[in-house]
Chains A and B, each alone.
Chain A
Amino acid sequence: MAAPNGQASGVRTHFKTPEGRYKLSREKTYPTGILHYSHGKVVTQVLLAHLKDRPPAQTNATSTSSSSSTGMRFPAVRLLGAGNGSRALNFVGGNGFTSKLSSGVKSAASGVTGTLSNGPTAVHFDGEGAYIMFNVGDAIFVSDYNSPDKDPIKSIHFTSSNPVSLAFDSEAKDGHDLLIGLSSGDVYSASLRLQLQDSGKKLVGAAHYNKDGSLNSSRCTAVSWIPNSEGLFVVAHADGNLYVYDKYVEILELFPVDWKLFPAFKTKDASGDASFPPVKEQAQFSVVHAKSSKSNPISRWHICQGSINGLSFSMDGMYLATVGRDGYLRIFDYAKEQLVCGSKSYFGAVLCCAFSLDGKYILTGGEDDLVQVWSMEDRAVVAWGEGHGSWVSGVAFDPFWAPPSDSAESITYRFGSVGQDTQLLLWDLAMDEVVMPLRRLTSLNASPSRVGGTGQASAWDSTHGPGVLLSSPLRKEVPKLAPVMAHRVDLEPLSGLIFSKESILTACHEGHIKVWDRPSQGGSSPSSSEILVGSIKDRQVSKNGTSYHKP
């Protein structure tokens, strides 16, 4: 592995945690010398995409030279089969042959021809792989996660609008697994594998939603696949609206399909206009369904007044959490389309949120410099992490971390946050330490107020009516949490954080991704006494000279 450059700026290339030393192992960024004029106007978002291995091709549909005879079936097959493909209509095979479409095929997307690079070093992208994707200026860059190269292997450029949010579905059974939201409001779904196999600089084989912002012209602020759904995804906008789309509807709009081959798609057909009536009450939550349930988007959720800044689904797809400009974390029962609960930040807009894997806790970060932990069971704020010296732009649980084997029985959650103060912070929250005292405290004092209503409800009352939004807690009421590690990752404000099995990835506003490898488990791991010293030292590390303490 290539050693990272010496950091002249004084940014260290490693940091210590109770579990050992994380080392900067590689960096990814946009190719040097290429600076679009919109660079700096758009904040980089990052994702890590795991492309699963493609099952072996089924023989009856691989022949491409007979494209004219397969006629109508062929174009749809072309789009669907190019994905991860359990349906495996796999004619872009491992042998490197070119596939061409018959001339009569039209596509709303920018060109459907896919050609493989023919050079001897061509990588075929058929098997599994891991890719880092990030947006800078007018483009999206794709880098190989495991390679030490700084430069991307692929770039996808957009005209007249900038990509601003990304999402990837590694569980996608077929077809499109990549979502791209633009600043114009437009959204694309596409197959990541197809992009990798294409040597061009434009998005290929993509479906285009909200063309030219015709349905909603405000900026896309977040895109996400809905877990446990068949091809459904959501797009959030800067005007407080969120739309639910069905990727299969868009595709079928373009091409007639032989239903015998694709019975699952039978119910969807592309008719109907998906315009919605204007939102009447800007501050009220409302859901409107499209006139036809078989057109895109399927529904519009008006979440709040002002921008939706982030969203997160629980892993089972049951709950949707949103955070926004109005300072509220809102949790919805997705299937029932109802607001379940939520609360206001200490002050300012909330910028990011993340569900824990077990669905019990939600992290949020925002303009009050705090990392907040919300408990779904208790429907209350459990702790505030104080440590950032500026706004918190990314939060995530670390599902790969395990507490040291000799630790106490209480369940500990490890999570991380990145901020505009250029810092990465890691936190440990032992639930027993915090939750029990909070329960005692809050049952005495709390009186959450119903938004817009006059009633008062006890926080622990299990007969909570639907849709109670708690007002901002008092500073002295919420237990404070100190980070176990604080590290200046970059010279630029940070915008993204990902935990992977082997490392932690951080992204900065300007488009630099850093990969920090987890402490090695083998012989080179520090002795336990070294870890202890390191952790005490890091606990005392503070940016502003103030000391952290729990109240």
Chain B
Amino acid sequence: MIMGASGSKIEKALGDQFPEGEHYFGLENFGNTCYCNSVLQALYFCLPFRDQLLDYYSQNKSVGESEENLLTCLAELFTQINSQKKKTGVIAPKRFVQRVKKQNELFRSYMHQDAHEFLNFLLNELVDILEKEAKASEAKASKTVSGNQGQEKVSNGSINGPVNGTTPPIVTWVHKIFQGTLTNETKCLRCETITARDETFLDLSLDIEQNSSITSCLRNFSSTETLNAEDKFFCDKCCSLQEAQKRMKVKSAPRILALHLKRFKYIEQLGRYKKLSYRVVFPLELKLCNTTDDAPNAEAEYSLFAVVVHVGSGPNHGHYVSLVKSHNHWLFFDDENVEIIDESVVQTFFGSTQEYSNNTDHGYILFYESSDPKAQTD
């Protein structure tokens, strides 16, 4: 482990205020892997997520090469950071990155990647692995003599082979941490019947506008859209295509709210993606304004704890860094480098009001943690 020069600076700055048992380690970049590093830092400082992974590692220590997967690699990496003797330094997440590239050809090249795509891929991959493990242990449990294994979501528990019929979805700890529910309401303008359909999410991707706030982007996300012309809605009651109004509201807010700002827009005339440098302000504390009236945690207050920042003027020549809050102070992670920053510095990553500006560091993915203890999906 290399002791970065910035590391000792942090230790000096914090002195005996350095949080007990905490580690601030930079991550080595293996050739444009900053998309991965920045997300990893944000996730490492998502304490409920980190705790689950440390827990997982301690329960699944002996994993051979053949049984290695993204979950085991991530758990191992987090444990590595967490069990360092030194408080600061640099770690090379070699195994983890290799695993990522193996798992998904999208990340195999050395080209720049999108951090949100990576986050999405990672969370879904973890869910898949956990679901498979849960199913496997259910199947094992139902084969034992005593059928009372106390599994949370065991359904019919048939002894012979896979479970059929109405299996309730397995809720992994990834779901418990990140999952929220949206309700999609479509109102037929002719008969006024409202069709509602729920869908779950692990993060929200928001369209952005210049000189807006994250609150206003969330409001837009839930604004009413009119379906007409070629987009008419087939109303079951009217049995025909009708004009309709549609909107999506948050029915159940997640414990950890990940907001993705859609900064990369496909421009038809240019035939490629362009980066929107719009200034979108985000507060350090937040409440969702777009919840349904009966949402149980509509008034939950969220606290910002991490920001993945995209640096650069375009989608292909970028760099990612992250801002992370740990024990009430903010840190800036740029691959190997780690620095303490003042809370007010977060505001310099909102974006720019001018098309061409010196500042190309823009907040891209925001991570908020709910202070509401009830904010967990069951």
**Residues of A bordering B, CB below 8 Å:** 327, 346-349, 367-369, 388-391, 420-422, 472, 474-476, 491-493, 509, 543-546
Contacts and interface: CB of A to CB of B under 8 A. Distances in A.
B103 interface: no
Interface string B213-224: 101100110011
A546 B211 CA distance: 18
A369 B213 contact: yes
B298 A368 contact: no
A480 to B, nearest CB: 11
Contact of A491 (B213, B293, B353): B353
Contacts of B279: 420, 493
A346 B287 CA distance: 8
B369 to A, nearest CB: 14
A386 to B, nearest CB: 9
B301 interface: yes
A421 B286 contact: no
A544 B219 contact: yes
Contacts of A369: 213, 215-216
Contacts of B285: 327, 347-348, 367
Contact of B298 (A390, A475, A544): A475
6 contacts: A369-B213, A388-B216, A389-B211, A390-B213, A509-B353, A546-B224
Contact of B281 (A420, A472, A546): A420
B283 A421 contact: no
Interface string B314-353: 0000000000000000000000000000000000000001
B13 interface: no
Contacts of A349: 283-284
Contact of B283 (A367, A389, A491, A546): A367
Interface in B185-227: 209, 211-213, 215-216, 219-220, 223-224
B223 A546 contact: yes
A23 to B, nearest CB: 24
A476 B298 CA distance: 10
B55 interface: no
Interface of B: 209, 211-213, 215-216, 219-220, 223-224, 279, 281, 283-287, 289, 293, 298-299, 301, 353
Contact of B211 (A346, A421, A475): A421
Nearest to B359: A40
Contact of B353 (A391, A493, A544, A546): A493
B211 A544 contact: no
Given A390-B211, A420-B213, A474-B299, A544 B286 contact: no
B223 A544 contact: yes
Given A420-B279, A544-B219, A546-B223, 5 more contacts: A347-B283, A369-B213, A369-B215, A389-B211, A389-B213
A347 B372 CA distance: 14
A544 B299 contact: no
Contacts of A389: 209, 211-213, 216
A422 B223 CA distance: 21
Contacts of B224: 545-546
A91 to B, nearest CB: 46
B220 A421 contact: no
B353 A390 contact: no
Closest 3 CB pairs of A and B: A348-B283, A367-B283, A389-B216
Contacts of B298: 475
A544 B215 contact: no
B281 A391 contact: yes
Contacts of A368: 215, 283, 287
Contacts of A543: 216
B223 A545 contact: yes
B281 A422 contact: no
Nearest to A494: B211
Given A327-B285, A348-B284, A368-B287, A421 B216 contact: yes
B216 A347 contact: no
A163 B293 CA distance: 46
Contacts of B281: 367, 390-391, 420
Nearest to B301: A347
Given A390-B281, A544-B220, A544-B223, A492 B353 contact: yes
Contacts of B299: 474-475
Contacts of A474: 299
A483 B122 CA distance: 44
B334 to A, nearest CB: 21
A372 B4 CA distance: 48
Nearest to B213: A390
Nearest to A366: B283
Which of B211, B279, B289 has the most CB atoms of chain A within a 10 A radius of its CB?
B211
A388 B279 CA distance: 15
Contacts of A491: 353
B244 to A, nearest CB: 16
